[in-house]
Amino acid sequence: MNLQELQSTAKALVAPGKGILAADESTSTIKRRFDTIKLESTEENRRAYRELLFTTIGIQDYISGVILYDETLRQSAKDGTPFPTLLARQGVISGIKVDKGTIDMPGFPGEKITEGLDGLRGRLVEYRNLGTRFAKWRAVITIGNGIPTSTCLEANAEALARYAVLCQELDIVPIVEPEVLMDGNHTLERCAAVTEDTLHIVFSYLKKHKVILEGMLLKPNMVVSGKDCLQQASVAEVAAATVRTLRRVVPAAVPGIVFLSGGQGPEEATEHLNAMNALGYHPWELSFSYGRALQEPVLEAWRGQADKVQAAQQSFFHRAKLNGAARDGNYSTQMEKKPV
């Protein structure tokens, strides 16, 4: 293990003004996204869409890395350039989703466990040879009546820790992603309590499994009100609750925290990140690793039409730039209207 390499990759991913694009939708997830624009999910449409994202001019000013899915990692641009090579030429680091998705956790109704540890060491060797320098594993925690249980939190934390240490063995930076879902009518306070418990358990398992904190990134949910909660917290309340929760449980040795958007709207996700960075000094970089919050407007502008590629790329550039500004607390909602 080369700690220096791990640290420099982790630092580059959370460089000032930059964050990560999560473009690692599995084949079934991207189908759901394409359904919203009535586009068939063929291998060529998936390839063309990712080419649109990765060839957006100037994106490297705001995007440090891209998380890919196995299929995308092996695909190429129209001119034959493999996607990881195309990204590397722009100074963008390639990452890879390595979990195999979630299943219902046996014995624990309503809860999920993530699969994908079997054979992971071999897959990581191949991914590293294909040019990836960081990875992602997502655990899903559901808030509900009597859940999450400690058994579910511990089982998911152990899987995250085992994945993370395997990555570090090969100098691949693990993004540790325990996502507490927004689904439900719970309050901000409940989300805060569950997120704190989850992260506390995750970090205790990372320690047990000897994960080097300096060579990883954390990808958590923000502390928000449940989607169906009648009393939705304000931007300022979300920012304060999220930072307070993270300060309690995330060691300062972790170089960066890259939030998922988790179903927040694009502007909402940018506003929340901005408000947190505007609060002042934090012991870690606070950045983004958004999927939907970066891509929703892009898909909407593109709709699978070749003559809309440029408009879609402008929309991607704009969203990335605004999130880049939110990294430093320099975003304002007026910037939404500014032409690119």
CB atoms within 10 A of CB 80: 7
Q: Which position among 46, 292, 319, 327 is part of the footprint of ligand 13P (CB under 6 A)?
A: 292
Strands (E), the chain: 19-22, 63-68, 93-97, 102-104, 112-114, 134-141, 173-180, 217-218, 256-259, 285-290
Site for ligand 13P contains 112 (CB under 6 A)? no
Site string for ligand 13P, 1-40 (x = CB under 6 A): ---------------------x------------------
Site for ligand 13P contains 260 (CB under 6 A)? yes
Furthest CA-CA distance within the chain:
54
Residue whose token pair is 């993270």: 246
Q: Which position among 132, 261, 274, 313 is part of the footprint of ligand 13P (CB under 6 A)?
A: 261
Phi, psi of 144 (to 5 degrees): -165, -165
- Output the smallest distance, CB 263 to ligand 13P, in A: 7
Stretch that binds ligand 13P, among 45-53, 224-232, 256-264, 324-332 (CB under 6 A): 256-264
Footprint of ligand 13P on residues 293-312 (CB under 6 A)?
293
Footprint of ligand 13P on residues 162-191 (CB under 6 A)?
177
Counting every residue, how long is the chain?
340
- Written as six digits, the tokens of 140 are 């899903």
For the question of residue 219 being annotated catalytic, the response is yes
For the question of residue 177 being annotated catalytic, the response is yes
- Output the smallest distance, CB 177 to ligand 13P, in A: 6
Measured from the CB atom, the residue of 207 and 293 that comes closer to ligand 13P is: 293
What is d(CA 251, CA 213) in angstroms, rounded to the nearest whole number?
Answer: 8
Stretch that binds ligand 13P, among 34-42, 73-81, 246-254, 255-263 (CB under 6 A): 255-263
Q: Name residue 257's beta-bridge partners.
A: 218, 286
- Output the smallest distance, CB 281 to ligand 13P, in A: 26
Stretch that binds ligand 13P, among 7-15, 49-57, 182-190, 258-266 (CB under 6 A): 258-266
The residue annotated as part of the active site, out of 177, 179, 285, 296, is 177
242, 277, 304 from 262: Cα distances, Å? 14, 19, 24
The residue annotated as part of the active site, out of 18, 97, 136, 219, is 219
Q: Are strands 173-180 and 63-68 parallel, antiparallel or unpaired?
A: unpaired
What is d(CA 170, CA 192) in angstroms, rounded to the nearest whole number?
Answer: 34
- Output the smallest distance, CB 166 to ligand 13P, in A: 19
CB atoms within 10 A of CB 5: 14
- Output the smallest distance, CB 217 to ligand 13P, in A: 12
Determine the 3-state secondary structure of 102 from DSSP.
Answer: strand
**Nearest Cα residue to 52 out of 289, 302, 297, 339:** 302
What is d(CA 159, CA 3) in angstroms, rounded to the nearest whole number?
Answer: 22
Site for ligand 13P contains 138 (CB under 6 A)? yes
CB atoms within 10 A of CB 206: 24
Site for ligand 13P contains 199 (CB under 6 A)? no
Q: Which position among 49, 69, 127, 290 is part of the footprint of ligand 13P (CB under 6 A)?
A: 290
Q: Which position among 65, 215, 262, 297 is part of the footprint of ligand 13P (CB under 6 A)?
A: 262
Residues in contact with ligand 13P by CB under 6 A are 22, 138, 177, 260-262, 290-293
Report, as residue numbers or ranges, the catalytic residues: 177, 219
